[in-house]
A and B are shown apart, each in its own frame.
Chain A
Amino acid sequence: MSSLIEMDHVTKLYGSVIGLNDVSLSLPEGVYGLLGPNGSGKTTFINLIMGQLRPSIGQVRIMGSNPSWQGAYLRDIGLCPATDIHIPHLSGLDWVTNQVSLYGIPKRRSRQLAIEALKKVRMEHAWDRLISSYSLGMRQRCKLAQAIAHSPRLLILDEPFNGLDPIGRIEMTDFLQKWIENGHSLIMASHILHEVEAVDCSFLLLTGGRLLASGTPTEVRSLLENIPNQVQIKSADARALAPHVMSLPSVSDVKINSASDTLTVATEAPRALAELLGNLVSTHGYRITEVRPEDESLQSLFSILMQIHRGER
């Protein structure tokens, strides 16, 4: 199977500013979260694969094509950019219809597809209103509608949760989950980790234009085997447990939080810690109510990788 996206030592320079720095990757069809703080190169990454920008160094291919040619493969892609739309004097339906017709789809069919797409993003109540009267969240939904109306194979979303209220965020997450369930590919750029976490995806972590890590959260976690894992142990006998836990050679740090009866343990061998806890429960009768790896969330991974990148760990 050919790669969805290939980058070969891609660097993008804006004058003397680096937008993307020596990124190489090969992504098969799938679901990817493009993560990174503001200014990390997410939008540059998207514009490079869409052919809006050309790399200063290296090569980019999307669906086997050079994106600079803006060819027929674009029919298989739906783009929802981060930039807001300001279109006076037009209704949402008219605008989405026009955007669909730019794929070379006849007007009547375009309107039909636009209506279906606007229904999917729950905009049926307002599609005949002027876009200038829409809230930010409604404009965001319109942008999503024009991206999905022609049923693309790959959906590219840049900060899709921007401007959405809590209900809108839930609806957007539900929509994306259904999109993935239907076997479509997705690339979603965001700087808000829990939004990406809500969608089951592999991720690409960008910082300062560099690709810091890629893979599923588990795969990336395995890269961090030599980095101390944070484990939280909740126990009414937290103080009594602490010296036992400290006796393990793989444990580098133990913190006791008396208020919440919690031990926070930094260990390079979580398995050894788990075995020790099992033994302690059976031999000493300690009551352990919860053992939770603190680093499992994407937020923790992100923090750890950033700390490594900055040389802090």
Chain B
Amino acid sequence: MILVTLQATIATTLFELRRSITGQTISAAVILSLFPPAIMFLIFRIVNGPIPPELILAILLWMVGLLALLLWVPPNIYSELEGQTWILSTSRPYGRASLVLGKYFSAIIWTVLVESIALMLTIIVCAPFFDLTPYIFGFAKVILLAALAYGAVFSLLGVVALKRAMGFAVGYCLVSEMLIAFVPAMVQKFTIQYHLRALSFHWISDFGASRIDDEQFANFFNLFEPLPIWANVLALLGFGVVLMTISITIANFRQYITHNEA
């Protein structure tokens, strides 16, 4: 059972990546990859303010990661439904699990690829103004963990909301990641961004916080009562594992009605 699911998951992942090589997706990837270097370049040329460049880059890459996943997961699920191929994939042994996992892993690969290109381009473009190379591995680790966690959230939304997944995903980003994540209360620990901020602080840079006596700023990076690194990593991986388990369970028990019956 595990072997069949694994092989089918790999097949689905490769298939999703293979069929994503279209003008539309390549254009999206190019635009997303160019977004951070372009903004960083403009900031260095025009503003060059006091905000640390690595902080701006972290925010830009976070946005690119969310956008890349938004552009990948919901349309992928929607196209499967619209193309009426869902019924074929799920009529394979353990096909539902491998379908959900395959789409999840392909989304992660796509997102990490786009963000990595964006990071490399930014480093190259910003080289005359600022050396970002010391932050590469920190960014890489955060990018990967962010993709794993956010990918799981969007996969779950895709399985639950189906055609409305895009709307729900945007709603989730606005409410959870842009609102609740900044509420100075216990509830922010249940957002992905909270843990990403903490890990960014540890792995990438202190973003100048140590030089600034600003409680708000310190709070932003969870400098008060901070969780240890392993706890943040575990929380993000936990998001991925738990949400994907829920997604697979829902997919296994959900009944999918075809147009003929609707």
Contacts and interface: CB of A to CB of B under 8 A. Distances in A.
What size tier do the contact residues of chain B reach? 35 or more
Nearest to A107: B11
A149 to B, nearest CB: 12
B96 A70 contact: yes
B261 interface: yes
B8 A102 contact: yes
B8 A103 contact: yes
B211 interface: no
Interface in A68-97: 68, 70-75, 77, 79, 81-90, 94
Task: From A52, A54, A86, A110, name the one whose CB has the most chain B CB atoms within 10 angstroms.
Answer: A52
Interface string B231-262: 00000000000000000000011011111110
A281 interface: no
B3 interface: yes
B176 interface: no
Contact of A83 (B3, B14, B253, B258): B258
Contact of B15 (A43, A73, A98): A98
A104 B89 CA distance: 12
Interface in A42-82: 43-44, 47, 50-54, 68, 70-75, 77, 79, 81-82
A129 B14 CA distance: 20
Contacts of B15: 98, 101
A63 B85 CA distance: 24
Contact of A102 (B3, B82, B92, B261): B92
Interface of A: 14, 19, 43-44, 47, 50-54, 68, 70-75, 77, 79, 81-90, 94, 98-99, 101-107, 110, 143, 146, 158
A81 B3 contact: no
B91 A75 contact: no
Interface in B102-152: none
Contact of B4 (A50, A72, A143): A72
Nearest to B20: A89
Secondary structure dominating the interface of B: helix
B8 A81 contact: no
Contacts of B94: 70-71
A143 B85 CA distance: 10
A43 B258 contact: yes
B222 interface: no
Contacts of B259: 83
A81 B90 CA distance: 12
Given A71-B1, A86-B83, 16 more contacts: A14-B261, A43-B260, A44-B261, A51-B91, A52-B90, A70-B90, A71-B94, A79-B91, A86-B82, A87-B19, A94-B19, A98-B11, A98-B15, A102-B8, A143-B88, A146-B88
A106 B14 CA distance: 12
Nearest to A106: B7
Task: From A73, A87, A158, name the one whose CB has the most chain B CB atoms within 10 angstroms.
Answer: A87
A103 B98 CA distance: 10
Task: From B8, B11, B15, B257, name the one whose CB has the most chain A CB atoms within 10 angstroms.
Answer: B11
Task: From B3, B83, B252, B256, name the one whose CB has the most chain A CB atoms within 10 angstroms.
Answer: B83
B167 interface: no
Contacts of A88: 22
Contacts of A72: 1, 4, 93
25 contacts: A14-B261, A43-B258, A47-B257, A52-B87, A52-B91, A52-B255, A52-B258, A72-B1, A81-B84, A81-B87, A81-B88, A82-B258, A83-B87, A84-B84, A85-B85, A98-B15, A99-B89, A101-B8, A102-B8, A102-B11, A102-B89, A104-B3, A104-B5, A104-B6, A107-B11
Nearest to B7: A104
Contacts of A158: 260
A83 B19 contact: no
Contacts of A75: 93
Contacts of A85: 83-85, 88
Contacts of A86: 82-84
Contacts of A83: 84, 87, 258-260
A45 B15 CA distance: 30
7 cross-chain pairs, A with B, having the tightest CB-CB distances, nearest first: A104-B4, A101-B11, A83-B84, A104-B7, A102-B92, A98-B15, A43-B260
